[in-house]
Structure 1
Amino acid sequence: MRAFHLAWLSLFSCFFSTFSIPPLIPIIRHDLNLTDTDVGTAGMASFLGSIFSRLAMGPVCDLLGPRVASATLSLITAPIVLSASLVSSPQSFILVRFLVGFCLANFVANQFWMSSMFSGCVVGLANGVSAGWANMGAGVSQLLMPLIFTAITSLNVGTHTAWRLAFIVPSTFQALTAIMVLIYGQDLPSGNYKEFKKTKTESREEKFVHVLFNGLKNYRGWILGLTYGFCFGVELTTDNIIAQYFYDRFGVNLQVAGTIAASFGMANLFSRPMGGVISDRMGRRFGIRGRLWGLWAVQTAAGLLCVLLGRVNSLWGSVLVMCVFSVFVQAAGGLTFGVVPFVSKRSLGVISGMTGSGGTVGAVVTQMLLFSGSKFSKQTSISVMGLMMIVCTLPVSLIYFPQWGGMFCGPSFDPNEPADEHYRLLQ
């Protein structure tokens, strides 16, 4: 449980850092003379950075363990978060957002850590609560960063300086949580990866390249990456644009826009854990088929709500639909990682990395196609994003496990076979 609390708190700080910039964009945009294209490109850049880092984080966790991988990444990226206070041009702003996006790779370490520490019957709940509470960092930053900025300006500090000083808070918080993970964390119930590697016999040791390619050739990981791209990826995109959307479309002030946007991210307190609970309960009752059906149903409902969000024309109607949408889209993320631990025992880190990076790929795609430039209005783009969610959830029906079956087919092997034999069949 100590590992659980360290994992979610560390990832919380990374989400807080990554999304500390969007709520201040109305101020930064004016100060740096950013165009809508600059803002959209910067948002896309923040997700591009996390794609590569998430892909790399999976194998690194397999090799070094989640504790060292998580803490090292946080310590490397904390100074980059602080450097946001030094940007002076659109180009440097885009570069900083790209580099800050590397923070989000900590998500892979978080899910790997929970899958290593908790048993299969509760792994959906553990992954869901850990990631859900951590994802609240995006909502908390939407709420706190405008308040921090306002508090600094109340000390007779100019706006040009105030928004820059505000970034001291997320960078310091991230560094402190990383140090706590290194000092107090533990990789496995039986100890740390360093000791675990020493006790393994040479004949059973998995080669790094074998583990990597073993995961990459598993088609289930690619489908889950696509699915996650249009639940968590949509969540990231919404976190990036929702404050500005309400600020521009409905004319609310910076603090109100930040509060509304915060309610979207704060729903992770219960919504993503709820997805994990649903996955575990469906799994206990219907096996892997229940987990897959639950994922498809919840994510499809989220897509329909996203379509509706772009069609609502009143402020309070939009807020209500946004809150319900947030519950479903975040629960879908918990349901996705309720399936991930069953895909490959040997390449858990690689599959987690593929799925996690799929989330940021989806964010890049939606940001680039729908929210970069002025080809579509934001409300139309939001509705189109919902349609993309519905379509990209359909491939879940193609996932099949020889021992457990799929959404429409039963198992082709005896479900009472030992787990090790099942994993051998999956390889």
Structure 2
Amino acid sequence: MGSLSIEHGDNVNSDGAPPRKFALAVDSENKATEFRLFSFAAPHMRTFHLSWFSFFSCFVSTFAAPPLLPIIRDNLNLTSTDIGNAGIASVSGAVFARLVMGSACDLVGPRLASSSLILITTPPVFFTACINSPFSYFLVRFLTGFSLASFVSCQFWMSSMFNPTKVGVANGVAAGWGNLGGGATQLIMPLVFELIKHMGSTKFTAWRIAFFIPGVMQTVSALGVMILGQDLPDGNYRDLMETGEKTKDSFSRVFANAAKNYRGWITALCYGYCFGVELAIDNVIAEYFYDRFDLNLRTAGIIAASFGMANIVSRPGGGFLSDFLAARFGMRGRLWGWWIVQTLGGVLCIWLGKTSSLSLAIFVMIVFSVFVQAACGLAFGVVPFISRRSLGLVSGMTGGGGNVGAVITQLLFFKGTRYTKEDGITYMGIMILCCTLPIMLIYFPMWGGMLFGPSSKEDATEENYYAAEWSAEEKARGLHLNTIKFAENSKGERGRRRRLAPTTDATPSHV
């Protein structure tokens, strides 16, 4: 099959209709082949901005409580166990929600899936102002945490809007700016709290009123996604299904295809110890500095904010690095980059736990944040290539793995008084090192893996790998044709050293 052309701004439709016009250069799937950060051009860059801001709002809501925890724990008489359980609850609900979100993106599209979830999880944010017991604190944090599943729609959307050569940086910037909410809330909530208290409220009233800010942000972002969002470059799922440009898939086939691809399970495990670590740190870092170094609430919040705020450059940097390495070394470059950066993050995490100097602890925390967040960007430089048919569910599996990692880490090291915060951080670093090793097992027949090059078999091609997700009957009906377009556009993952060779559309019986 010959190479499909990439033109600026338009592309011929498969049904022979007049070409659609776009502000950005696009490929044969109408995915953007360029990334203009400060553009709001529809649909590619508008989708980007809607995606990261909605995820940002969910992050602010989910982690609005930790920066005010010294006040909340006094008001509600929370014990260390109560605080630990609530921290676990805040990230555990999203494990299941991310799997559901992945399936919803595959079946009904990211616009409806994302906006519906965000609206459903908004009431618990407002209800936080009314809680009066440890159990109610646990409950609102658990229910609010479901909103973090919007991460899956964020990454699905970027992978659906941008060409493989730009998917790393698009995923990295969108998720990085979204994760920025974990740092921004460390600044926002203490400042809002102080402002409300300055206006005459008592401290036990001020923290409650402060929760209306993240609630309003989340509501506005959901409405924006619903009204202004678009599922794919060519339109929304429902419209495309009505015109026959997109076929409605079945959950059972999408699920089976994702479940049997071992690569998705490995990315889920490894992502648990980059993004999962980030979630765990968001829950404990302000309290860690407040208690260990005897700081006031505002100072501890500012220091803690620098961890999450690093996302403005670190996770996008990881996505950019993934695309850069792929342009030179192909998929093997993406995998090596992810393993190296995440391993260094583990070393820095151990160092942070062993540091007793405030100034050095701040420095190590910032450097650690850069590496662990860049590893997240590198992870989602790999995920879009694991499956085309089950992209949403594989993204959900991986994203859910991040939450599982956070839950396990908090259960083991940050629940109760068994370990001090500094010891828990040290042991978490050791887990990062161990759980990053399976990246070495990810192997694509047509591109290779960290330890071995691509297969020499003639059927080890992009077309065969992705077409194998469809049955012979489905291929006879032409349902796999968009998959073949993606296969053509992903040949850059071979790297510069491999010369592009003609391929066929034959399909092996397995992947």
Report TM bin, short chain.
over 0.9
Corresponding letter in the other structure for 1:78: T
Match of 1:165 in 2: 209
Match of 2:374 in 1: 331
1:306 to 344, 349, 367: 349
Other-structure match for 2:77: 33
Distance 1:154 1:49 in 2: 35
Aligned partner letter, 1:259: I
Relative to the length of structure 2, the TM-score reads 0.82
Residue 191 of structure 1 pairs with residue 235 of structure 2: yes
Aligned CA distance change for structure 1 residues 10 and 414 (closer, same or farther; 3 Å): farther
Unaligned runs of 5+ in 2: 1-44, 469-509
Give matches, 1:49-88, under 5 Å: 49-88=93-132
Work out whether residues 112 and 226 of structure 2, in 8 Å CA contact, stay in contact via their aligned partners in 1.
Answer: yes
Identical amino acids, percent of aligned pairs? 57
Deviation for aligned residue 1:212: 1.1
Match of 1:22 in 2: 66
Q: Calculate the aligned-residue CA RMSD, in Å.
A: 1.4
Is 1:101 matched up with 2:149?
no
Instruction: Confirm or deny: 8 A CA contact 2:446 2:461 kept in the other structure.
Output: no
Per-residue Cα deviation, 1:185-205 (whole angstroms, up to 9, x for no partner): 111111111112223379x65
Per-residue CA distance 1:355-397 (angstroms, 9 max, x = gap): 0000000000000100001111111110110000000000000
SS of the residue corresponding to residue 403 of structure 1 reads coil
Query: What residue is the counterpart of 1:153 in the other structure?
Result: 197
Match of 2:268 among 203, 225, 231: 225
The question of whether the paired residues in 2 share the 8 Å contact of 1:404 and 1:415 is answered with no
**Amino acid of the residue matched to residue 291 of structure 1?**
R
Residue 441 of structure 2 corresponds to residue 398 of structure 1 = yes
Whether 1:377 and 2:420 are equivalent positions in the alignment is: yes
Residue of structure 2 in register with 1:285 after alignment = 328
Report the Cα distance in structure 2 between the residues aligned to 1:201 and 1:111, rounded to whole angstroms.
Answer: 23
Tell me if the contact between 2:446 and 2:462 (Cα under 8 Å) persists in the aligned partners. Answer: no
Question: Is the partner of 1:34 in helix, strand or coil?
Answer: coil
Using the alignment, how far apart are the partners of 2:456 and 2:373 within structure 1?
34
Question: Is the CA contact 1:12–1:134 (under 8 Å) kept in the aligned structure 2?
Answer: yes
Q: Where does residue 50 of structure 2 map in the other structure?
A: 6
Tell me, in whole angstroms, the C-alpha distance in 2 between the residues paired with 1:416 and 1:151: 65
Q: Compare 267-276 and 372-381 and name the one that shifted more.
A: 372-381
Instruction: Specify which structure has the higher proportion of helix.
Output: 1
Distance 1:134 1:113 in 2: 13
Aligned match of 2:312 in 249, 252, 269?
269
TM-score (norm 1): 0.98
Q: Quote how far apart the aligned CAs of 1:206 are.
A: 2.9
Please state if 1:207 is matched with 2:241. no
- Residues of 1 paired with 2:280 and 2:171: CA distance? 22
The one-letter code matched in structure 2 to 1:52 is: F
Equivalent residues of 2:102, 2:152 under 8 A apart:
yes
1:114 aligns with 2:114: no
Which range moves more in the overlay, 270-279 or 212-221?
212-221
Could you tell me which residue of structure 2 aligns to residue 294 of structure 1?
337
CA contact (8 A) 2:152 2:396 kept: yes
8 Å CA contact 2:105–2:153 kept in 1: the answer is: yes
Answer yes or no: is the 8 Å Cα contact 2:277–2:405 preserved in 1.
yes
Separation in 1 of the partners of 2:424 and 2:120? 35
Letter in 1 for 2:256: F
Change (3 A) 1:78 1:415: farther
Residues 96-118 of structure 1 show CA distances to partners (whole Å, capped at 9, x for unaligned) of: 11101101000000000000000
Per-residue Cα deviation, 1:123-177 (whole angstroms, up to 9, x for no partner): 0000000000111011010011001001001111111211110000000111001
Q: CA deviation at 1:23?
A: 0.4
What amino acid is the match of 2:199? L
Residues 186 and 374 (structure 1), Cα distance of their counterparts in 2 relative to 1, 3 Å cut: same
Secondary structure in 1 aligned to 2:121?
helix
User: How many residues are treated as equivalent by the alignment?
Assistant: 426
Q: Which residue of structure 2 lines up, in the alignment, with residue 349 of structure 1?
A: 392
| In 2: Cα distance, 1:377 partner to 1:21 partner | 21
CA gap of 1:223–1:417, structure 2 versus 1, over 3 A, is closer
TM superposition shift of 1:269 = 0.2
- Compared CA separation, residues 120 and 24, structure 1 to 2 (3 A): same
Say if 2:188 is the partner of 1:144.
yes
Unaligned runs of 5+ residues in structure 1 are: none
Deviation at 1:424, TM superposition (A): 2.9
